[in-house]
Amino acid sequence: MKEESAFLDLLKSHGGIIHKVAGLYCDHEADREDLRQEITYQLWKSFGSFRGESAPGTWMYRVALNTALTRFRRRSPTLIFRERLPEPGIPSEEEAEPSVRLMAAIRQLPRADRALMALYLEGMHHREIGGILGLSENNVGVKLHRIKNKLKNLLNN
């Protein structure tokens, strides 16, 4: 019971991580909802072994990204008929909030690059990102430079 309440507190204080990771890897709300539940389930299963050696946010990112990148199950595509066709790609500055545009642009990147970018935007240092991803600090720097250029192009075009 104590463990459950600690887990719920953690979800309430860091729930945004689950929300953001689901947004990075799923285009549709129904898929995002499935992924959010899957991440929550995986976090709960790993919570018992979380010893607090890293910050809770770092641990949550690690489990959430592992869940998003290693799952291969997908729900069957849902057919939705809208009156207007949705605009493909990234919405313009007038159409959407900056955070929505940013998320849409990151979703255009390859799956592994999205993880790197999310950790960078969260404000983590290269060493910390390397620890989560299993890469050297130097390698993180090189990859981030390349990904930032891609993202700039996506947001400017």
Q: Does 26 bind another protein (CB under 8 A)?
A: no
Q: How far is the CB of 82 from another protein (least distance, A)?
A: 22
DSSP state of 109: S
Please state the φ and ψ torsions of residue 28, each to the nearest 5 degrees.
-110, 150
DSSP state, residue 93: T
CB 67 within 8 Å of CB 132: no
Selection from 71, 3, 73 nearest residue 39 by Cα: 71
**Residue 54, token pair as written in the block:** 């890293």
In the set 28, 45, 125, 127, which binds another protein (CB under 8 A)? 45
42 binds another protein (CB under 8 A): yes
Shortest distance (Å) from residue 71 CB to another protein: 7
What's the min distance (Å) between Cβ of 126 and another protein? 14
Task: Give how many residues touch another protein by CB under 8 A.
Answer: 59
CA 52 to chain centre: 21
d(CA 35, CA 63): 12
Cβ pair 116, 106 in contact under 8 A: no
Minimum Å gap between C-beta 85 and another protein is: 26
Q: Which residues bind another protein (CB under 8 A)?
A: 4, 7-8, 11-12, 15-16, 19-20, 23, 33-34, 36-38, 40-42, 44-46, 49-50, 59, 62-63, 65-67, 69-73, 75, 98-99, 102-103, 110-113, 115, 118, 120-123, 131-135, 148, 151-152, 155-156
